[in-house]
Amino acid sequence: MYIGNVMLRIIKLINKMTKHRKVTWECVNCGRQHRSYSNRRWEMQICECGKSGLDLEEFYSRTMGEIKIIKEEELKK
Ligand SMILES: [Zn+2]
């Protein structure tokens, strides 16, 4: 299973290179504050008012509605 081993090493390397982020954001519509983590994947965090949301991924983020980024931090592994 040589190819399998190589794949595993590549995955481990990618894991090492990516840094998880934590973003604190505020919904412009209602002012509620939220925290999003990039290591929780495939999940858009939507404000209780339903007007805004943030989907944080490792390499990009997707927003819905109007949000204000308050703080962006790197998470230590
Ligand atoms: Zn809101």
For strands 61-64 and 67-75, give the pairing: unpaired
- Report the pLDDT value the prediction gives residue 42, as an integer from 0 to 100: 67
Ligand 1 centroid to 39 CA: how many Å? 23
Bridge-partner residues for 64, per DSSP? 53
Q: Are 31 and 25 in contact (CB under 8 A)?
A: no
Ligand 1 centroid to 75 CA: how many Å? 25
- Report the pLDDT value the prediction gives residue 56, as an integer from 0 to 100: 87
18-35 pLDDT, tens per residue?
Answer: 778 899 999 999 999 999
Q: Which residue has the higher pLDDT, 47 or 13?
A: 47
Every domain of the chain and the residues it spans: 20-74
Ligand 1 centroid to 65 CA: how many Å? 9
Q: Are 67 and 52 in contact (CB under 8 A)?
A: yes
Q: Which residue has the higher pLDDT, 7 or 40?
A: 7
DSSP 8-state code for residue 22: E
DSSP 8-state code for residue 65: S
CA distance 75 to 77: 6
